[in-house]
Structure 1
Amino acid sequence: MNAVRVLAALAVALPLAVQASSDPFFDDIPLVLTATRLAQSPLDAPAAVTVIDREMIEASGFTRIHDLLRLVPGFLVADVASGSPTVASHGLGDAYDRRVKVMIDGRTINSPLWGDTKWDGLPLRVDDIERLEVVRGPNGAAYGVNAFQGVINIISRSPATEVGKAVILRAGKDGFHDYGVRINGNGAGVLDWRLSASRRSAVNFEPHLESRPGFQRWHDAEKITRTVANFSATLHATGRDQLALQFGVSEGPSWRGSPDYVDFPSHVERDRSLYLQAGWVRQLDAERSLSLQYYHQSEREQGRWTVGPFVYDGVSYRFDADRDSEVRRDDVELQYSTRLSSSLSGMLGLGVRAERARSFSLLGRRDWLDATHGQLFGNLEWQPLAALRINLGGTLEHHDYSGRLFSPRFAANYALDDFSALRLSAGRAYRAPSLMESRAFQTYREGDVIRRILYRAQGSLQSERMRFIDLGYVAQYAPLGITLDTRVFREYHERFIDDRSCRTFIDGFDFDELPAEYREFWRAETCAGAEGPDFQPIVPGQKAFYFFNGNDFRMTGAEFTVDWRRAGWGRIVLSQAFVRIDKGEPYTDRDIPDSAPHATTSVLLIKDLPDRWRASIGYYRNGEYYWMNGGDYIPRGDRFDLKLARRFGAPGSESEFSVTALSATGKYPDFHNGKYRHQPFLFATLRLGW
């Protein structure tokens, strides 16, 4: 493979170009926490980890958290006008980003209902984030099922590192506004706390006219308003004990739909999410620590609209539909880490999770559905030689939807010198079916009568399974100001969970009533299982969708990030990914091999200017690809973002005025080439700190 030869050449050539030395440049690079649940150098981590630090967050100009993932090699980002934004790593993406585990400060925030992340409803704002750590690739050995294509850990700013107050005001195009305030209290190292609140309103999609010969339709517009508040506090109770408390809430309306949609007309939906997290850490001695964490997550969605009119046999029908749902999660984790000898250290943990969901329109029942999930996880690091580290990790778990699963990983890191290392890792990961995939019965109803079935569970599902092998090279060259992270990988996907359509009929339907050319074809497509006496469709034979285990395939790819910075000049971060999905013919879904663009590129340029000015340019390029299951073809595209900022006030106050243009080259296709056009944003920001 050409990528392997390039990787080998870099591993040999770059150490010869410089000599290792200590430099303050690297003092600011944080240890990564997400690869094994323990702090370690990126040179020692058993997985590839991208760190999006505070400087990159501010320079990007992004005001929404999911947009920051554009800076990660191989990641795809889209807004979906009918629901939450979605992300994907190396393809296989649809409206629900179920194959990437997302966490905030170590707590899982994927929704139990669909397994996705409610990006626009997170009780956290971009200004409160210290950094993102993104594990690029499967990490089930550390976090179990659904850490399938990667792990995103959003790490908030610690109250202990901040003092004073700040106000942030943003306003711009199409009535966009984003107002926030942050208050910090510093208790001289005993009690540190932060309170943050904001309100944001933006138009993500304007109405879009799809026009072709013989067809015209106006597609969805989307406007979202959110009010967010969160509180974080850390208490250093004793010299060995630390207590932490966080809670937050996000709430607001979304205007969705289109007058031209019979099923999804213009309407208002309202969402609310909240969380509570409490933790205790005891440093038993210099080599041993014990931690206990509890968190609660709650999400509620409400939205109602009228479906119709449908005209069948000369009769017009209308009925009400809704998207009402409520989910809850409670999770407890206990973790113990220790050094067993001078060359051996380990971590062992136990987690128990309870999930609940209810939605009459999505699940066909008014009571709660409950599920439990237990995990036993651990990692052992052995250093038999000064240059060699071996990691053995794994998670054993049992879930009501997936049964018992074990996700192991073996990794070996070999230090070429003090500032560069090679990594080889291999293992297995799983993605368990979500609640909707296992128990869906989404309907449109008229009173107690079912008029249409949209999604239905049909038979049992097995968990998706992946075997993977990964070869990486990581280097930190202080004299050149360069950090390099490269990776080549191969993944073997099995039992891919996809959806497929079938046709719904009442029990005992006489297929002889159908036109002759449809009889046998529709009979063969009939959904399995009886629909029950309450099913009285307006139009017989309408399509419903069900989930099933599709075919196996292989994914091969290579990616790299080069991060160069120089004091007084600025910084350039270049990321590139190449991916190919193959060896799966015949595909159960023809979009699978095309769901990953063969190449994606991101560049973030940060340039320091005189008199405390700073300019930044973001460039993002994707090859053509498909969003699956509700999405569609996305052509090759380029996006430019621009930001010009000037700091003022006392050093350390973070006071700044800036002008930002996101998607400065104009609107572009997003999630579906025919339907959605992502809107450009032009806005000004004033941040005052004291």
Structure 2
Amino acid sequence: MGLVVTLAGVAGVGAHAAERSVTEEDYFANVPVVLTASRLDQPLNEAPGAITVIDRQTIRQSGARTLPEVLRLVPGYLAGGWNGANPLAAYHIPMDDYGTRNLVLIDGRSVYSTSYLGDTHRGMMDVMLEDIERIEVLRGANSAAYGANAMFGVINIITRHSADTTGGEVLLTSGDNGIRDRRVRIGWGDEAASFRLSVGEQRDAGYLNAYDDKRLGQVNARADFKPTLADDVMVAMGVSYLDAGEGDSDNENPPHKIRTRDSYVQGEWRRQLGFDDELKVSASFMEDAKEDFATAPNDRATRATYPIPGAYFTMDYGGLGRRANVEVQRKLGLSDSVRAVMGVGFKDERARSAPLYNTSEWVSFRETRAFGTLEWRLHPQWLLNGGLFVGNHSRAGTYTAPRLMANWLLSPEHTFRFGVTESIRAPNLYEYKADTRIYTDVGGLYVHEYAATGGVQPEKLLSKELGYVGRFKDLHLTLDARLYHERMQDVIRTKLYPHPETNPINGRRSRDYVNLTGLSLTGLEYQLRWKPFSATEVWFNQSVGHVKWDDPGLEQHKERRPPKHTTMIALFQRLPANVQLGVIHERIGSMTWRAREDWMPFEHRTDVRLAYPFRIGANKAEVALTVQSVNGPATFVRVQENFQLARKSFLTLRMEM
């Protein structure tokens, strides 16, 4: 939704944060300070939602090459993608192939695509894992703080302050399955003015039996300034290029190449007006461009609806999207027991694509918004948090998203949380204005594929939850659990309907985007972190859940069915000679990312990473061997096409100067 709310702000780490004297120890203690749930910095046990924090050391120890692989460490999250070039993560249930119901923030900048279906998986490629300070993942709805896209989770990525990355870094990775990665980073400056430039490239061959080779290029720059003791300024910009294979054996999506370019510029100014009083102004501009064009022979004799021998049809899903966003926010302490945050914002979102919208003109919408959160400590053991987001959308109209949550601090080590949240997802431009046609080289129009009437309404989610955060000091153990029931209404889907331009050649009708059905989600998830020794850390996640579609047909066909249970266990161990061992084992129950024909059986996956740090003169270095899916290839996502997740081994050399 285009928010620019830098939730660790310019700081990235506590040493650079002016607000409330937050320190690095606060963030990485057993009860870390988090900023994602309500836009207020607060201890994890006082946040109005369940949050998982992953720091940069854990990201490195996981052996992950992509952000969705990192998110496997979060209870309830599923990592997948319709092919290996388009990895994505879904919370609870894979509602689509694009992650449109996740809000993904990079230093407060929302990264979903404007031009097509609001996908977030491409935006996740805008950041390099090595530049991340930490990731805060709010598990659950949070439109009360962030508006129309924060329906199934908020993934808040906070990059490192440029003053913490002075010097240079070189990273080289090589392995099987076509893995060839390289990265260079240079940083300079001091606490008054500091700068970072990161350049990287990733290559791999994707899934087995799929046409999805990937080459991803990334350039990111960040500058931080401190003109006065009370002011902090951050400016960031970047561009990412993806060149990847797409398609399968089905002639309706023939193998071809896609090329995308995502670019952005953002800025933020913060002024500390008092001990508990801060003003923040932020702005961003983003552009996403995509080339996705293919031709295929219209010669499949098995379909009587293709009566033109020798003809070719063309498909084109390319386009250009732009989003401009500005926001003003004020955080302040109203008394010793009451804190508040309030703000207003505006965004303009537009797309241009003759193939998708049947016009060379821009299609667009605008949104103005106001939001606020009030935190009231009415008793040393009781904390109330109320939030409200009001948006005025030029197509969806006015909507509200409230939240009321109570935290009962039974003791400093044990907290119970309960409350209710309402969230929405506003339809994207394609769902409002799609007008997509496919043509043959003879005979003209082949099919009017999508013809949206624009009558679709926002999706709604009512979420009720009971949470627990416990810290057992003597055992060096923490436990975070969430029990939830969520009711989703007006789920947006496509539906065939009689249309005046129905193709007389094949009799196929156009599809419209409509609010077709609803569903209910009930489940329990928990995360246990145990540090029995200073050199040993164990993570243990489990989630169990059940989904029920209101539509009997979808229920019978097991449409978009998540696993009933998932388990993840991770061991991070420091061995003699400071050798680092990381092992992640994941067990996922049978599920489908799509419909029942792509039903995935029960799968398990084990990743192992072994790293040895050393020095070359005064420079730090590390060599690491990572093996993903040690247990071998596994059927993945597209079962009918026999797509498989390959076993991958790769060696990484890293040097810091």
**What TM-score results when the alignment is normalised by the length of structure 2?**
0.91
2-side partners of 1:129 and 1:194: how far apart?
A: 13
Distance 1:337-1:368 versus aligned 2 partners, 3 A rule: same
Aligned to 1:36: 38
2:644 to 677, 685, 690: 677
Q: Which amino acid aligns with 2:265?
A: L
Does the 8 A contact of 1:84 with 1:117 survive in 2? no
326-335 or 450-459, larger mean C-alpha shift: 450-459
1-side partners of 2:270 and 2:26: how far apart?
A: 30
1:610 to 560, 576, 591: 576
Aligned to 1:251: 241
Q: Which amino acid aligns with 1:452?
A: V
Aligned to 1:50: 52
Does the 8 A contact of 2:498 with 2:510 survive in 1? no
Aligned to 2:329: 335
Aligned to 1:513: none
Provide Cα deviations, 1:587-637, integer angstroms capped at 9, x if missing partner. 556456761211011111111100011111111111111213698211111
Distance 1:402-1:143 versus aligned 2 partners, 3 A rule: same
SS of 1:479's partner is helix
Aligned to 1:389: 383
2-side partners of 1:391 and 1:445: how far apart?
A: 55
Matched, 1:644 2:610: yes
Alpha-carbon deviation of 1:550?
Answer: 2.1
Aligned to 1:279: 268
Aligned to 2:16: none
Does the 8 A contact of 2:113 with 2:123 survive in 1? no
Provide Cα deviations, 1:323-368, integer angstroms capped at 9, x if missing partner. 2111011110100011111111101011101011011222222211
Alpha-carbon deviation of 1:583?
Answer: 7.1
1:462 to 437, 441, 457: 457
1-side partners of 2:552 and 2:33: how far apart?
A: 44
Alpha-carbon deviation of 1:433?
Answer: 1.2
Provide Cα deviations, 1:74-124, integer angstroms capped at 9, x if missing partner. 111212139733322111422121111111111111112312113377221
1-side partners of 2:597 and 2:108: how far apart?
A: 31
Moved beyond 6 Å, runs of 4+ = none
Aligned to 1:13: none
Overall identity of the aligned pairs, in %: 30
Alpha-carbon deviation of 1:192?
Answer: 1.8
228-237 or 544-553, larger mean C-alpha shift: 544-553
Alpha-carbon deviation of 1:290?
Answer: 0.1
1:261 to 250, 275, 283: 250
Matched, 1:529 2:479: no
Aligned to 1:550: 516
SS of 2:615's partner is coil
Distance 1:631-1:466 versus aligned 2 partners, 3 A rule: farther
SS of 1:648's partner is strand
Report the RMSD for the aligned CA atoms in angstroms.
2.3
Aligned to 1:506: none
1-side partners of 2:385 and 2:312: how far apart?
A: 60
1:79 to 67, 78, 81: 81
Q: Which amino acid aligns with 1:360?
A: A
Q: Which amino acid aligns with 1:59?
A: Q
Matched, 1:179 2:182: yes
Aligned to 1:3: none
2-side partners of 1:160 and 1:424: how far apart?
A: 40
SS of 1:628's partner is coil
Provide Cα deviations, 1:112-145, integer angstroms capped at 9, x if missing partner. 2312113377221111111111110000100011
1-side partners of 2:234 and 2:110: how far apart?
A: 17
1-side partners of 2:226 and 2:343: how far apart?
A: 23
Listed as ranges, the matches of 1:174-213 within 5 Å are 174-187=177-190, 189-207=191-209
What are the ranges of 5 or more consecutive residues in structure 2 without an aligned counterpart? 1-24, 301-305
Does the 8 A contact of 2:91 with 2:152 survive in 1? yes
Aligned to 2:149: 146
1-side partners of 2:434 and 2:516: how far apart?
A: 18
SS of 2:127's partner is coil
Alpha-carbon deviation of 1:200?
Answer: 1.1
**What TM-score results when the alignment is normalised by the length of structure 1?**
0.86
Distance 1:120-1:170 versus aligned 2 partners, 3 A rule: farther
2-side partners of 1:390 and 1:687: how far apart?
A: 46
Distance 1:231-1:583 versus aligned 2 partners, 3 A rule: closer
2-side partners of 1:201 and 1:343: how far apart?
A: 52
Does the 8 A contact of 2:633 with 2:647 survive in 1? yes
Does the 8 A contact of 1:94 with 1:630 survive in 2? no
Distance 1:250-1:596 versus aligned 2 partners, 3 A rule: same
SS of 1:57's partner is helix
Aligned to 2:471: 476
SS of 2:145's partner is helix
1:239 to 204, 229, 248: 229
Aligned to 1:620: 586
Listed as ranges, the matches of 1:496-575 within 5 Å are 496-500=491-495, 502=496, 527-531=497-501, 539-542=505-508, 544-575=510-541
Aligned to 1:597: 563
Matched, 1:348 2:338: no
Q: How many residues are aligned here?
A: 625
Matched, 1:410 2:404: yes
What are the ranges of 5 or more consecutive residues in structure 1 without an aligned counterpart? 1-22, 208-219, 503-526
2-side partners of 1:652 and 1:572: how far apart?
A: 32
Does the 8 A contact of 1:85 with 1:120 survive in 2? no
Does the 8 A contact of 2:498 with 2:509 survive in 1? no
Listed as ranges, the matches of 1:95-110 within 5 Å are 95-110=97-112
Does the 8 A contact of 1:281 with 1:291 survive in 2? yes
SS of 1:621's partner is strand
307-316 or 232-241, larger mean C-alpha shift: 307-316
SS of 1:665's partner is coil
SS of 1:495's partner is strand
Does the 8 A contact of 1:206 with 1:222 survive in 2? no
Distance 1:127-1:253 versus aligned 2 partners, 3 A rule: same
1:318 to 301, 312, 316: 312
Does the 8 A contact of 2:104 with 2:124 survive in 1? no
Aligned to 2:427: 433
1-side partners of 2:72 and 2:253: how far apart?
A: 30
404-413 or 155-164, larger mean C-alpha shift: 155-164
Distance 1:357-1:635 versus aligned 2 partners, 3 A rule: same
2-side partners of 1:127 and 1:455: how far apart?
A: 41
Alpha-carbon deviation of 1:479?
Answer: 3.2
2:480 to 477, 480, 485: 485
1-side partners of 2:435 and 2:140: how far apart?
A: 32
